[in-house]
Amino acid sequence: MIETPMDTATAAAPLPQSRHLATAVPGPRSLQLHAERAEQVSAGFGTVLPVFVDRAEGGILADVDGNRFIDFASGIAVTSVGASNPRVRRRVAAQLERFTHTCFMVTEYDSFTQVCRWLNRHTPGAFDKRTALFSTGAEAVENAVKIARAATGRANVLVFDEAYHGRSLLTMAMTAKVNPYRLNFGPLPAEVVRAASANPLRAPGGGAAGADPAAAALAAVEATLAEHGPESFAAMVVEPIQGEGGFIVPAPGFLSGLRTLADRHGIVLVMDEIQAGMGRTGTLFASEHEGVAGDITLTAKALAGGLPLSAVTGRAELMNAVHTGGLGGTYAGNPLACEAALAVFEEFEDGTLLANARAIEAAAREVLEPLVEQTGVVAQFRGRGAMLALEFADPETLQPRPDLAQSISASCHAQGVLTLTCGTYGNVIRLLPPLVMSEELLRDGLAVLRSAVLDAAQNAAPSDAPA
Ligand code: PLZ
């Protein structure tokens, strides 16, 4: 009998949920595949850890050399329900049997509507909403700007220091960090204006005890709006917790202050929940922690358990201000991705995953927060739920230590723990475990990270710091 892919998928034994090193990292097979890749793939793509994945499940990535890594990345906050979640697989497999694609602009299918219905109901804001589906996060951001422009008749877009919104031409301009995202790729649109953000550690007014970084940043935002004329702004786009910029939780009061400014000046507030949303922080949406609702909320990444899907959800009057035919895309709201999203929504129904996110925070805080006092190289442990980070810097001068973030991350990789870095200075190690990771696996990974930090701190005289 010829084995169909379905048969192999269902017959596969569960992947053991434990860390295991069969070879050095990367192993010989990965090294060989990586060499072949270099002959075929554009050099424009970087790689965090050059191992080739064979299977992934729960909290584990298994590579082609038989190594099993604890997954503290979730494919950058995507596989929150696990990389081969049974509900996602069942729904997608059933859809695969029916049809793969029609293009929603040509003929319709109901799963698209059902995904929109769930988002309209569950995104923050008690107002009548509509949703538009796309494929990538950058597309969602771009379409939010198009919608805000159509609704307001204005052009400018306000974004913030340390923001990340994507790699397409407009969203690259909205992203703060030049290298690697914007370098050599200009010119950039002049309608993107950047304002101060409220980084509790580093913004003006931050760090020092008793200062109010939210008030300082909001005053700077008002000055920026005044400079350009507040009536020139269609939208302000903000991440409720900044992701690529360093897992920065804005100082309390900053998001609600932006809400007030947006209302005062008739500017559409766009909440970019692409990385922080869909349960990652212990609530369905990160903006809920501050009790602030955007006029438009953006989701992607964890929305569809690994299939490409993104969404723009917002006030009905904004979403319907666009002329018919003005929004779309060949793959927008692909039926396989919509079924995957419906499976993800089912996974969130009983509240277990949100509770898991909060339990992940509690365990990580217990293991990692003492490092701030103990080591003298960790300036801050921060984040919410399962979106957590350590910033490496001199606690007094805040001189960033990207060298430590890199070497500690490399040590974790060599020991079978996949960590990612981020931050404007590249000096932050971030944790994004799948919300289904067992406590045992989580604690094993945290212990590896903790001892790597302690080792690095012992060997790191402050004089090693880059001048
Ligand atoms: N908005 C807040 O975090 C994507 C980028 C990885 P796309 N973040 C991961 C990389 O280096 O390309 C992101 C985000 C926020 C928008 C995006 C863009 O989402 O699906 O990558 O387009």
- Give the CATH number, domain containing residue 316: 3.40.640.10
Average pLDDT over residues 93-104: 98
Residue pair 328/322 in contact (Cβ under 8 Å)? The answer is no
| Residue to substitute in 301, 387, 420, 430 for testing ligand 1 pocket (most ligand atoms within 8 angstroms of CB) | 301
Beta bridge partners of 235: 157, 268
Domain membership flag for residue 392: yes
Does pLDDT of 207 surpass 70?
no
Domain membership flag for residue 43: yes
- Alpha-carbon span 56 to 85, nearest angstrom: 10
* 242 lies in the same domain as 163: yes
* 179 lies in the same domain as 306: yes
Atom of ligand 1 nearest to the CA of 138: 22
- Alpha-carbon span 301 to 293, nearest angstrom: 20
Question: Does the C-beta of 79 come closer than 6 Å to ligand 1?
Answer: no
**pLDDT attached to residue 2:** 44
Domain membership flag for residue 467: no
Does pLDDT of 223 surpass 50?
yes
Does pLDDT of 463 surpass 60?
no
Domain membership flag for residue 185: yes
Using a pLDDT cut of 70, give the percent of the chain over it: 95
Q: How far is ligand 1, taken at its centre, from the CA of residue 460, in Å? A: 33
Closest CA to 368 of 446, 269, 443, 420: 446
* 387 lies in the same domain as 420: yes
* 61 lies in the same domain as 130: no
Question: Does the C-beta of 63 come closer than 6 Å to ligand 1?
Answer: no
* 312 lies in the same domain as 181: yes
Does pLDDT of 7 surpass 50?
no
Q: Starting from the edge strand earliest in sequence, which strands make up the sheet with 296-299, in order?
A: 129-134, 310-315, 296-299, 268-272, 233-238, 156-160, 192-195
Atom of ligand 1 nearest to the CA of 273: 2
Domain membership flag for residue 385: yes
Residues 130-175 pLDDT 10s: 999 999 999 999 999 999 999 999 999 999 999 999 999 999 999 9
Closest CA to 375 of 429, 423, 422: 429
Question: Does the C-beta of 275 come closer than 6 Å to ligand 1?
Answer: yes
Q: How many domains does the chain have?
A: 2
**pLDDT attached to residue 205:** 55
* 297 lies in the same domain as 180: yes
What's 213's DSSP letter? H
What's 323's DSSP letter? P
- Alpha-carbon span 383 to 240, nearest angstrom: 11
| Closest Cα to atom 19 of ligand 1 | 137
**pLDDT attached to residue 460:** 80
| Closest Cα to atom 20 of ligand 1 | 137
Atom of ligand 1 nearest to the CA of 243: 3
Question: Does the C-beta of 244 come closer than 6 Å to ligand 1?
Answer: yes
Average pLDDT over residues 253-258: 98
* 411 lies in the same domain as 445: yes
| Closest Cα to atom 5 of ligand 1 | 166
**pLDDT attached to residue 411:** 98
**pLDDT attached to residue 5:** 47
Tell me which of 303, 333, 363 is where a domain ends: 333
Tell me which of 285, 304, 333 is where a domain ends: 333
Question: Does the C-beta of 165 come closer than 6 Å to ligand 1?
Answer: yes
Range of the domain at 215: 102-333
**pLDDT attached to residue 202:** 86
- Give the CATH number, domain containing residue 406: 3.90.1150.10
* 248 lies in the same domain as 128: yes
Domain membership flag for residue 16: no
* 264 lies in the same domain as 183: yes
- The average confidence (pLDDT) of the chain is 95
| Closest Cα to atom 6 of ligand 1 | 76
Cis peptide before 28 (omega within 30 of 0): no
Average pLDDT over residues 353-372: 98
Between the CA of residue 3 and those of 10, 91, 96, what are the distances in Å? 11, 21, 17
Atom of ligand 1 nearest to the CA of 239: 2
Tell me which of 333, 368, 389 is where a domain ends: 333
| Closest Cα to atom 7 of ligand 1 | 137
| Residue to substitute in 47, 167, 177, 244 for testing ligand 1 pocket (most ligand atoms within 8 angstroms of CB) | 244
* 310 lies in the same domain as 175: yes
Domain membership flag for residue 97: no
**pLDDT attached to residue 466:** 53
Residue appearing with tokens 């050399």: 65
Phi, psi at residue 181, to the nearest 5°? -75, -35
Average pLDDT over residues 212-221: 93
* 43 lies in the same domain as 145: no
Residues 273-291 pLDDT 10s: 999 999 999 999 999 999 9
Tokens of residue 349, six digits: 């129904």
Residue appearing with tokens 């003929």: 107
Domain membership flag for residue 90: no
Beta bridge partners of 298: 272, 312
Atom of ligand 1 nearest to the CA of 139: 22
Lowest mean pLDDT among 104-108, 125-129, 199-203, 354-358: 199-203
Residue appearing with tokens 């950039």: 188
* 289 lies in the same domain as 144: yes
Q: What is residue 77's three-state secondary structure?
A: helix
Closest CA to 431 of 375, 379, 365, 372: 365
Lowest mean pLDDT among 8-12, 235-239, 316-320: 8-12
Tokens of residue 424, six digits: 């404007």
Using a pLDDT cut of 90, give the percent of the chain over it: 93
The full DSSP string for 2-53 is: PPPHHHHHHHSPPPPSS-B-SSSSS-HHHHHHHHHHHHHS-TT---SS---E
**pLDDT attached to residue 309:** 99
Tokens of residue 282, six digits: 């212990």
Residue appearing with tokens 């945290």: 446
**pLDDT attached to residue 462:** 59
**pLDDT attached to residue 326:** 98
Residue appearing with tokens 């909320």: 297
Does pLDDT of 437 surpass 70?
yes
Does pLDDT of 210 surpass 60?
no
| Closest Cα to atom 3 of ligand 1 | 275
Residues 179-205 pLDDT 10s: 999 999 999 999 999 999 999 998 765
Residue pair 60/74 in contact (Cβ under 8 Å)? The answer is no
| Closest Cα to atom 9 of ligand 1 | 76
Average pLDDT over residues 79-88: 98
Tokens of residue 275, six digits: 């990385």
Question: Does the C-beta of 274 come closer than 6 Å to ligand 1?
Answer: yes
